[in-house]
Chains A and B, each alone.
Chain A
Amino acid sequence: MPLDSDTLRNIALSNLNRVPPGRGDDIGSYIHAILVWLTEWAVASKHRTNITPGYCAFVLVPEQAKHDPPKGAKEAHFFKEDKTPILGGNVYITDYALNKVYRYSGKCRDLNEIARELTKRAINDRPFVAFDVEAQMVYIYASGMATRPTSVPLRQEIPYPFDVDVFKAMLDDIYRDNLKYAEPYPGLWHDSRERIPCKETELIAQSHVCAILKARAQGSGLSTGKWLTISEKKNNAGRIDIAIYRSEHCIVAAEIKVLRFRHHNADVKKAKKVSPKFNEKWAKRGARQAQRYKESEPSDSGVLVLYDMRDKNKDVQGAIDECKKRGITYLRYYLHNGIPGAN
């Protein structure tokens, strides 16, 4: 039977953003699944008037899935599919894929009440995602309540047409909400005090940024699923870190580079310093890569994204000049190595 390519294209473009970034039973994939579900929920909710306000939480307790509902909870059948409007106030116990979901009906009005509820149920050490239904703000607690949350806003409308300025605004959001200060998730620092980055910093930054962009693309009104975020896209010039497409047309080809104060080393004393010259060379190389990607794709725009983990918050003039010369957008985000106010 000949395959209908329109059907395949539709399925591919509507679902590629949903494919989990890692193994299905990986915490990153769980967070991705929740973010995708919530963005789709947010879209569905635009036309509803019966949304219950408050905060809700999705708690990962996969071993609960094979049992009957825990005391005081009820199974939420077809939760993944049905996008219930009665979300606010509740605590949900879920597996990794949101198939077995148990609901504790509650009246949680803020994060404190969520925390109290989870403590009462003795599940406060589990990874969970809290959601403010009205503000549509997501709080990710990847290692339970003991760590500071990473917040991701869902509600902002994504302007149309999508161009490099929109991309920049989205990166600004991700920076402000997740990356600016040393956060346990996505955990870019191995030792923030000593300014030692984690292993494979660029890869982790890339997958975190992509996971959020993909989640926001999925089900967003702008895209109706046709806006694609692709990481590691292969073309003649190499692999593009982040490529954004709409209707199969590449809008942005971005290269991510991390500027370091020290190289990664598990032993703090052995972590070697990175010279300013090396950082500049690294950034300029990124600008050249972005230009090559832009031309070979071809893409409307090429972007160099620098995540700056150095000790001084200072622009890299050589990279700015290189970007200007090559028609590339230069973006630099300085990552503070402490909590707000520490730097």
Chain B
Amino acid sequence: MGAAQKAGLLPISKTLFHRVIYLSNCLAPLFDTTPTNATIVKYKRGPFYPKVQWYLDRLAVLGILKVRDLEYITDEYGTWMEALYFTNGATRQVIETCKGVQYGRQIEEYLTEMVFAVASISKRTWKDAALNDSTYDEPGKTEGAFIDFADPTNNLSVQTARAFQAVLPKGFIASPKEEMFLYLRFLESQVAGGTR
């Protein structure tokens, strides 16, 4: 949330928040970081973590996050709650406390890079980028499929990000950050190309 504010992603919609979390889980191995959750069920509304939503709402009720434009919508997929989340003074205090420990700093470092990679692509493609993710959108994976990318051979997103290495000038070693930024540009082009 701290990085999202600096990158202009706030207030962030519930949908986008879950999708950014999904991408951060998927691409964590690029930074030798352990994803908080390496499995997900392919859901009709795109990547969604019920547990994260529970925490998100709890933080909002505790006043650590702010929430606005709460609405219940009913569409072809059923009923759904949508809202916009943003930070306040309490959020900043929590973030600062988390950064007081090594693990918190590492996670913050990674999430900052991740959020800025998302922020670097066109705003018009933010929402759909995760839907075009190589792992999530793998042919044959239909709604309700259990996606497990804990095993590197199943993590097509990281494989695609690393594939950029092969097309760069010989000898140039792309950093994990460069791979991640290029991968997000790849997702942006997929969205713009109308693959979904």
A-B contacts besides A3-B160, A20-B116, A24-B112, 20 pairs, CB < 8 Å: A1-B138, A5-B167, A8-B164, A9-B167, A15-B185, A16-B174, A18-B120, A18-B181, A19-B182, A23-B112, A25-B3, A25-B7, A29-B116, A62-B5, A78-B124, A96-B119, A99-B7, A99-B119, A234-B173, A297-B171
Q: Which of A97, A230, A236, A245 is most buried by chain B, counting CB atoms within 10 A of its CB?
A: A97
* Other-chain contact of B3, A14, A24, A66, A78 (Cβ < 8 Å): A24
Residues of chain B contacted by A99 (CB below 8 angstroms): 7-9, 119, 123
Query: Residues of B contacting A29 with CB < 8 Å?
Result: 116
- Whether B10 is near chain A, meaning CB under 8 Å from some CB there, is yes
The answer on a CB contact under 8 Å between A98 and B116 is no
Contact of A250 among B7, B112, B167, B169 (CB under 8 A): B169
Which residues of A sit under 8 angstroms from B101, Cβ to Cβ? none
Measured CB to CB, the closest approach of chain B to A246, in angstroms, equals 10
CB < 8 Å: which of B6, B115, B168, B181 contacts A19?
Answer: B181
| Interface majority SS (helix, strand, loop, mixed), chain A | mixed
Interface secondary structure of B, over-half rule:
helix
Q: Any chain B CB within 8 A of the CB of A228?
A: yes
Q: Render A8-45 as a binary contact track against B, CB cut-off 8 A, 1 for contact.
A: 11011011101110011100010000000000000000
A233 near B124 with CB under 8 A, answer no
A66 and B87 contact, CB distance less than 8 A: yes
Contacts of B168 in A (CB 8 A): 12, 16
Query: When chains A and B are docked, how far (Å) is the Cα of A63 from the Cα of B5?
Result: 7
**Chain B residue total in the interface (Cβ 8 A):** 41
Q: How far is the CA of A12 from the CA of B181 in the complex (A)?
A: 9
Q: Is the C-beta of A112 less than 8 angstroms from some C-beta in chain B? A: no
Q: Is A248 an interface residue (CB 8 A)?
A: yes
Query: For residues 57 through 88 of chain B, which have their beta carbon under 8 Å from a beta carbon of chain A?
Result: 86-87
Contact between A96 and B173, CB atoms less than 8 A apart: no
With A3-B163, A81-B122, A81-B123 known to touch, is A24 a contact of B7 (CB < 8 Å)? Answer: yes
Is B116 a contact of A25 with CB atoms below 8 Å?
yes
Q: Chain B's nearest CB lies how many Å from the CB of A44?
A: 15
A24 close to B6 (CB less than 8 A): yes
Is B11 part of the contact surface with A, judged by Cβ < 8 Å? Answer: yes
Q: Which residues of B contact A62 (CB under 8 A)?
A: 5-6, 8
The 5 residue pairs across chains A and B that have the minimum distance between CB atoms: A24-B116, A99-B8, A95-B8, A100-B8, A9-B167
As a 0/1 sequence over residues 298 to 324 of chain A, the CB contacts with chain B under 8 angstroms (1 = contact) are 000000000000000000000000000
A90-149 contacts to B (CB < 8 Å): 94-101
Alpha-carbon distance between A135 and B186 when the two chains are bound, in angstroms: 35
Cβ-based interface call for A7 (8 A): yes
* Across-interface contacts of B167 in A (CB, < 8 A): 5, 8-9, 12
Which chain A positions have C-beta within 8 A of B169? 228, 230, 233, 243, 245, 248, 250
Mark A residues whose CB is within 8 Å of B: 1, 3, 5, 7-9, 11-12, 14-16, 18-20, 23-25, 29, 62-63, 65-66, 78, 80-81, 94-101, 228, 230, 233-236, 243, 245, 248, 250, 297
The docked-state distance in angstroms from the alpha carbon of A235 to that of B171 is 5
Bound Cα distance A65, B2 (Å): 12
- Min CB gap A244→B, angstroms: 11
Interchain residue pairs with CB less than 8 A apart (6): A5-B167, A16-B168, A25-B6, A62-B8, A63-B5, A233-B169
**Contacting pair A97 B185 (CB below 8 A):** no
Q: CA separation between A24 and B120, bound complex, in Å?
A: 10
Assuming A11-B182, A15-B182, A66-B87, is B6 touching A95 (CB within 8 A)?
yes
Whether B116 and A96, one on each chain, are in contact in the complex, defined by CB atoms closer than 8 angstroms, is yes
A66: chain B residues at CB < 8 Å are 5, 10-11, 86-87
Q: How far, in Å, is A269 (CB) from chain B's closest CB?
A: 35
**A11: B residues at CB distance < 8 A:** 164, 182, 185-186, 189
